[in-house]
Amino acid sequence: MRLVVGAALVLASAAAHASWSVSADVEAFHWKEDGTPRVTERGPRWGASWGYLHERDSGLQWAYLGQFRRGTINYEGAFLFSGQPTTARTRYTGLVNELQGIYRFPQSFGFELLGGLGFDYWERNILPDQKEDYAVVFARAGFNIDPRSSTGFFGGAGLKLPMYVAENAHLDEIGFDQNETLHPKGNLSGYAQLGYRFQRRWSVIGYYDSYRFAESKAITTTSSAFPGTQFLIFQPASKVDSVGVKLQYEFK
């Protein structure tokens, strides 16, 4: 009996493995809003990523991914009330948490299908102090190809869809009497990564990530600075694109 139990434990440990990873990240970030005048932001951001993978040689498994991002980038847009063109600097600070379910096909050279659900929160501060807080619940569907060999290439690609988007524009802090939450609609966008494992624990990974937001429904608000005037406030359709590289270390 003890021999049977011991054999079962050995087989279970061989079939499932736990793996943690951490990385240092740097990326080129680009935000663009439709409208007149058009708003664009671009520049570098830095950060860190971490993850946990409960992996098997084949079959169902799951993973957790986390990301922290920060950076101050160039802003080109216009003043809110006058519409006069202006330039500034925008500071981003963000945190992402995501759970993924993964199915790894047997004898498939590492081909996997995955689905994920994540929460992305970031502060967009047009300096010196015009803040916007975003909260995004998103879903992900895609594939990975990872032979999990000691060295070699791996990668993946797929689609993301923001399912819920809430924007706190802090309207009451920039001259309006009310501060209703804006809700841009999420549209499909893509993501991809390509990595090379040059040692058993070390990898370098290039990645592309994105969001697509449709124009939010307009809200009506007033301002004590303009008595008797009503303002329609909305978030224009926006595109977010990031291209970056990370150096990753795996604890196996």
Q: Which residues pair with 116 in a beta bridge?
A: 100, 140
Per-residue pLDDT at 81: 67
The pLDDT, as a whole number, for residue 153 is 97
Specify the long-range contacts of residues 223-231, CB closer than 8 Å, at least 24 apart. 223/175, 223/176, 223/177, 224/175, 224/177, 225/175, 231/176
Say if residue 32's pLDDT is above 90.
Answer: yes
* Mean pLDDT of all residues in 89-110: 96
- pTM, 2 dp: 0.90
Q: Are 249 and 23 within 8 A, CB to CB?
A: yes
**Of 12-21, 94-103, 132-141, 237-246, which gets the smallest average pLDDT?**
12-21
Q: Is the dihedral of CA 172, 177, 180, 185 positive or negative?
A: negative
Nearest to 246 by CA among 74, 71, 21, 20: 21
Average pLDDT over residues 218-232: 90
| pLDDT level of residue 29 (50, 70, 90 thresholds) | very high
Average pLDDT of the residues in 72-98: 90
Average pLDDT over residues 6-21: 59
Output the CA–CA distances (angstroms, integers) from residue 76 to 20, 32, 90, 185, in the order listed: 40, 10, 10, 24
Question: 24-38, 75-89, 119-133, 170-184: lowest mean pLDDT where?
Answer: 75-89
Q: Is 90 exceeded by the pLDDT of residue 39? A: yes
pLDDT at 111: 97
The pLDDT of 26-49, averaged and rounded, is: 94
Burial class (CB in 10 A: 0-12, 13-18, 19+), 29: buried
| Domain spans of the chain, in order of start | 2-251
What pLDDT sits at residue 14? 40
Question: What is residue 78's predicted lDDT score, i.e. its pLDDT?
Answer: 82
Q: How many residues does the chain have?
A: 252
Residue 9, pLDDT > 60, answer no
Residue 64 has pLDDT above 90, yes or no: yes
pLDDT greater than 90 at residue 112: yes
Q: Is 30 exposed, middle or buried (0-12, 13-18, 19+ CB in 10 A)?
A: middle
DSSP-assigned letters across all residues of 222-248 = E-TTSTT-EEEE-PPPEEEEEEEEEEE
| CATH pick for 2-251 out of 3.30.2130.10, 3.40.50.300, 2.40.128.100, 3.30.200.20 | 2.40.128.100
Please determine, for residue 129, whether its predicted confidence score (pLDDT) is greater than 90.
no
